[in-house]
Amino acid sequence: MVNYGDFIFQLLMFIFLIAVIWAIVVVIKTISNKKAPQQSKDIEKKLDKIIELLEKDKNN
């Protein structure tokens, strides 16, 4: 005899476990995507400064 209550409970717990893992992955991706543009801007500023210094050196 199959106990449907136990089956439904286990199915819901499995779905809950998958949802928790998915949420953790989404949070990690969101955090890493927010850091990337800031790092890109920092690198861009440094490159602009290097280009500016090279142009000054070239003109002198």
Mean pLDDT of 11-30: 96
Tell me the pTM.
0.55
The answer to the question of residue 46 being in a domain is yes
Number of domains in the chain: 1
Look at residue 41 and tell me if it is in a domain: yes
The closest alpha carbon to 60, from 13, 52, 35, belongs to: 52
For residue 50, the enclosing domain spans 36-60
Q: Is residue 55 part of a domain?
A: yes
Is position 12 within any domain?
no
The answer to whether position 53 is within a domain reads: yes
Q: What Cα–Cα distance (Å) separates residue 59 from each residue in 15, 42, 48, 55?
A: 66, 26, 17, 6
Question: Over the stretch 7-17, which tens digit does the pLDDT of each residue have?
Answer: 999 999 999 99
Instruction: Say what the alpha-carbon torsion angle 23, 29, 31, 32 is, to the nearest 10 degrees.
Output: 160
The answer to the question of residue 59 being in a domain is yes
Mean pLDDT computed over 39-49: 86
Q: Is residue 10 part of a domain?
A: no
Residue 14 located in a structural domain: no
Is residue 33 over pLDDT 80?
no
